[in-house]
Amino acid sequence: MGLLKKFRQSRHQRISNAPTLSLHSGKQSPDAPRILFVSHEATRTGAPKIILNIVRQFQEKTDLNLQSILHSGGFLAEEFGHYSEVDCLNLPRESTEELSRIIRKICLRHKDNPPVLAICNSMESRFIAYELQKQGIPVVFLIHELPSSYEVEDYEKVYACAERIIFPVDVVHDSTHEKLSLPAGKCSVVPQGLLNPQFAQDLDRERVRNQIRQELKLPEDAYIVLGCGTLDLRKGIDHYCGVARTLLRKKSSKRPIHFVWLGEGDRWAHTPYHYAMLDVEKSNIFHNVHFIGEREDVQPWFAGSDVFVLTSRVDPFPCVIHEAMAAKLPVISFDSSGGATQCLSQGAGLTVPYADYEAMSERILLLAANQAIADNIREVAYKKVYDEFCFDKYTDHLIRVAEQTTRIPIARQSAASLPAQAQATNIRRAA
Domain of 269, CATH number, reads 3.40.50.2000
Separation between Cα atoms, residue 60 and residue 333, nearest integer Å = 35
How many separate domains does the chain show? 2
> pLDDT band at 147, cuts 50/70/90?
very high
pLDDT reading at 24 higher than 60: no
User: Is the residue at 317 inside a domain?
Assistant: yes
The pLDDT, as a whole number, for residue 346 is 95
Task: Pick 2 or 283 by higher pLDDT.
Answer: 283
Average pLDDT on 51-71 reads 96
Residues 258 and 154 placed together within one structural domain of the fold:
no
- Range 218-222, long-range pairs (CB < 8 A, 24+ positions): 218/256, 218/258, 219/256, 221/255, 221/256, 222/255, 222/256, 222/257, 222/258
Residues 121 and 174 placed together within one structural domain of the fold:
yes
User: Is the residue at 98 inside a domain?
Assistant: yes
Spatial strand order of the sheet with 115-121 comes to 21-23, 85-88, 65-70, 34-39, 115-121, 139-142, 162-167, 187-189, 429-430
Residues 296 and 147 placed together within one structural domain of the fold:
no
Residues 38 and 154 placed together within one structural domain of the fold:
yes
Average pLDDT on 142-147 reads 96
Residues 379 and 271 placed together within one structural domain of the fold:
yes
Separation between Cα atoms, residue 247 and residue 263, nearest integer Å = 22
Residues 160 and 254 placed together within one structural domain of the fold:
no
Average confidence score pLDDT of the chain: 89
User: Is the residue at 169 inside a domain?
Assistant: yes
pLDDT reading at 391 higher than 80: yes
The pLDDT, as a whole number, for residue 326 is 98
> pLDDT band at 14, cuts 50/70/90?
very low
Domain range for 50 is 2-193+390-430
The pLDDT, as a whole number, for residue 421 is 34
Average pLDDT on 25-44 reads 85
Query: Tens of pLDDT along 177-222?
Result: 999 999 999 999 999 999 999 999 999 999 999 999 999 999 999 9
User: Is the residue at 54 inside a domain?
Assistant: yes
Residue 73 near residue 88, CB atoms below 8 Å: yes
The pLDDT, as a whole number, for residue 7 is 29
The pLDDT, as a whole number, for residue 10 is 34
Residues 306 and 173 placed together within one structural domain of the fold:
no
Task: Pick 422 or 57 by higher pLDDT.
Answer: 57
- Give me the sign of the Cα torsion angle 299, 301, 306, 307: negative
Residues 369 and 250 placed together within one structural domain of the fold:
yes
| Angle, CA of 134, 66 and 423, to the nearest 5° | 95
Beta-strand (E) ranges in 294-406? 307-310, 331-334, 350-352
Q: How far is CA 53 from the centre of its chain?
A: 10
User: Is the residue at 188 inside a domain?
Assistant: yes
The helix-helix angle for 319-326 and 46-61 (nearest 10°) equals: 70
Residue partners of 265: CB distance under 8 A and separation at least 6: 230, 231, 232, 271, 272, 273
Query: Tens of pLDDT along 352-378?
Result: 999 999 999 999 999 999 999 999 999
Average pLDDT on 17-25 reads 50
Residues 327 and 256 placed together within one structural domain of the fold:
yes
Residues 160 and 300 placed together within one structural domain of the fold:
no
User: Is the residue at 273 inside a domain?
Assistant: yes
User: Is the residue at 200 inside a domain?
Assistant: no
Residues 270 and 397 placed together within one structural domain of the fold:
no
User: Is the residue at 198 inside a domain?
Assistant: no
Residues 101 and 129 placed together within one structural domain of the fold:
yes
pLDDT reading at 134 higher than 90: yes
Average pLDDT on 293-302 reads 95
pLDDT reading at 425 higher than 60: no
